[in-house]
Amino acid sequence: MAAIDIILGKAIEQMAEGTFSSTENMIYLVVGMTLIGMPCKFVMRYASARFSVSALRDLRGDLVHKFCDLPVSRVERKFTGDLVSRLTNNTALLQNFFIEQFANLFYLPLVFTASLTLLLMTSWKLVLASLALMPVGMIITSLMSRPIEKYSEQLQEKMAHLNAVGQDAIGGIPIVKAFNMQAVLLKKYMVIMEEVVRRGLGLEKRYASITPVGVMMLATPIILVIVYGGYLIQQV
């Protein structure tokens, strides 16, 4: 997949410059790369899903084994729903990462390395100019990500508490009905739910605040390359 993207990018560059052999050959190349890329994409997606299923099977098994080995005193300090949340919500986040992002850990470095090599061969001055803002962008992103990590952790804790209340209410429904505690439990559940919603919106607000910065960091190198590239052309 990495090779296909690089080959097609180089072909488009040659076509824009008018150095590609012919339009017919370009069509053949695109069709060929598409036919090769479709099964590659299938294999990549299926391999990620297969890895995800296997990894989460082992992880859930290890978690249950760990729960069984915990001292009774520690288990009693935890809500049942909290432990269940670790088996459901937390592992679901991992599953989404394994399926959607895990393959990129191999794919993106390949594309970056090959693309950087081609760009350096084209104009190393432009490459250095476009990469000049990368350290600044990394520092800004790191500073803005720290509150997000904290909010995300707090949200998971509140979700675990919410699941705990629901789990305990359902498991103890005979006692709840016997003491007529439905209203109390419902109020407690809704209070925690409101806190989950508040923290969830707070997390999304922080994600949204990073988006403009990301757009700026993407646009600035492009503008810099256009301006500096025009200057280099004038110097030729």
Q: What is the pLDDT of residues 85-123, one digit of tens each?
A: 677 767 777 878 888 788 888 888 888 888 888 888 888
Is the model's pLDDT at 158 over the cut of 70?
yes
Name the amino acid, one letter, at 74: R
Return d(Cα 227, Cα 118) in angstroms, integer: 21
Query: What is the mean predicted confidence (pLDDT) over 149-176?
Result: 74
Q: How confident is the model at residue 186 (pLDDT cuts 50, 70, 90)?
A: confident
pLDDT of residue 156: 75
Is the model's pLDDT at 146 over the cut of 80?
no
Is the model's pLDDT at 132 over the cut of 70?
yes
The residues spanned by each domain of the chain are 1-122, 124-236
Higher pLDDT, 4 or 130: 4
DSSP secondary structure string for all residues of 32-98: HHHHHHHHHHHHHHHHHHHHHHHHHHHHHHHHHHHHHHS-HHHHHTS-HHHHHHHHHHHHHHHHHHH
Tell if the pTM clears 0.85, that is, is over it. Answer: no
